[in-house]
A and B are shown apart, each in its own frame.
Chain A
């Protein structure tokens, strides 16, 4: 239980520091790792039995501050956030979306035609993660404050906005295409089984939400571009 609590706390730090500059990210992760270590040593020394609950409590109670800190850190370092996730480059985002779409279609085929629901759900899960990662990258790559710096900085901001607009359009297009594909497939069905219901419910909720998120961000960017 103690291990699990520590792992959860570490995972949470990894999540909210994604997309931050490498130094800020490494510093926060190292600081929390050190805190957890000291906490565990203290619990061992004092014989405290509620270490796991204490760690989880500290993690949960601090989540709002973590999120605010993460957003503020992005705003104060636009050059860092523009670089985004090191493992998911801008080209990688588009690849992720294409692969996400491909695995979703493959999952549908596996579940429906080949009759392999377990494998299909696994593929569906991977596809969902890839697509959500793509959207997160689009959000995390948000530029800091356009129009606030020198001419060169403003030009860089404008380039970041353009890049982000392209990414959001790709996310939006992929989501709409998937929803249309789901509808087309659903209309061709002779009967409506349990597995299909789950697949269509997941797809029917996930992709419109992704598309709506991308659309809102796209409109916000266009408005900010116009103002800048």
Chain B
């Protein structure tokens, strides 16, 4: 099924929502595994999001300008003796897209409710 270019699939919406949740907690950026953990906790899923699915979705979001990414300072990673993280941040466009998607979801739910009543 082909989706509309400006619509968000559930995983993309979850990533953006998780990114905004991190920001509210005072952490402006996040890395792939962190967002996978957040989504797992949020949806009470048994498994973490698959590597391919997660990073493909992050790539799509970045291409659409809904998140931006940067590689962290190598010194910070070396100091903690771990690989460098690719850090993502939700952009203002991403924030708006998530709000629009939530509005569209609510409108859809209201329409469906009205149809069921009728």
B47 engages A35 (CB within 8 Å)? no
A62 engages B52 (CB within 8 Å)? yes
B83 engages A62 (CB within 8 Å)? no
CB contact under 8 A between A69 and B50, given known A30-B86, A35-B32: no
Which residues 39-89 of B sit at the A interface, judged by CB distance below 8 A? 47-56, 59, 71, 82-86
User: What per-residue 1/0 map shows which CB atoms of B25-49 lie under 8 Å from chain A?
Assistant: 0000001111011000000000111
Is A181's CB within 8 Å of the partner chain B? no
Minimal beta-carbon separation of A14 from chain B (angstroms): 13
User: What per-residue 1/0 map shows which CB atoms of A117-150 lie under 8 Å from chain B?
Assistant: 0000000000000000000000000000000000
CB contact under 8 A between A64 and B82, given known A31-B32, A39-B33: no
Complex formed: what's the CA distance from A102 to B42 in Å? 58
The one of A9, A27, A37, A42 in contact with B51, judged by C-beta atoms closer than 8 angstroms, is: A9
Which residues 1-58 of A sit at the B interface, judged by CB distance below 8 A? 9, 13, 27-28, 30-35, 37-39, 41-42, 54, 57-58
CB contact under 8 A between A62 and B53, given known A34-B32, A42-B37: yes
A57 nearest in chain B by CB position: B47
Neighbouring B residues of A79 by C-beta, 8 Å:
none
A59 engages B84 (CB within 8 Å)? no
B85 nearest in chain A by CB position: A34
Complex formed: what's the CA distance from A205 to B40 in Å? 45
Task: Report the interface size class on chain B.
Answer: 20 to 34
| Count of A-B contacts judged by CB separation below 8 Å | 78
Neighbouring A residues of B37 by C-beta, 8 Å:
42
Minimal beta-carbon separation of A167 from chain B (angstroms): 29
Complex formed: what's the CA distance from A57 to B46 in Å? 11
Neighbouring A residues of B51 by C-beta, 8 Å:
9, 13, 32, 35, 58-59, 62, 66
Task: Report the interface size class on chain A.
Answer: 20 to 34
B83 nearest in chain A by CB position: A34
A28 nearest in chain B by CB position: B55
B49 engages A30 (CB within 8 Å)? no
B82 engages A65 (CB within 8 Å)? no
Neighbouring A residues of B59 by C-beta, 8 Å:
69
Residues of A participating in the B interface, judged by any CB pair closer than 8 Å: 9, 13, 27-28, 30-35, 37-39, 41-42, 54, 57-69
Known: A41-B82, A42-B33. 16 other contacts (CB 8 A): A13-B51, A28-B55, A30-B71, A31-B86, A33-B83, A34-B31, A34-B82, A35-B32, A37-B83, A38-B33, A59-B51, A62-B54, A63-B52, A66-B51, A66-B56, A67-B52
Show 29 A/B contacts (Cβ-Cβ < 8 Å), sorted by A. Answer: A27-B86, A30-B84, A30-B86, A31-B55, A34-B32, A34-B33, A34-B82, A35-B31, A35-B36, A38-B32, A38-B34, A39-B33, A54-B47, A54-B48, A57-B47, A58-B49, A58-B50, A59-B51, A60-B50, A62-B53, A62-B56, A63-B52, A65-B50, A65-B53, A66-B52, A68-B56, A69-B52, A69-B55, A69-B56
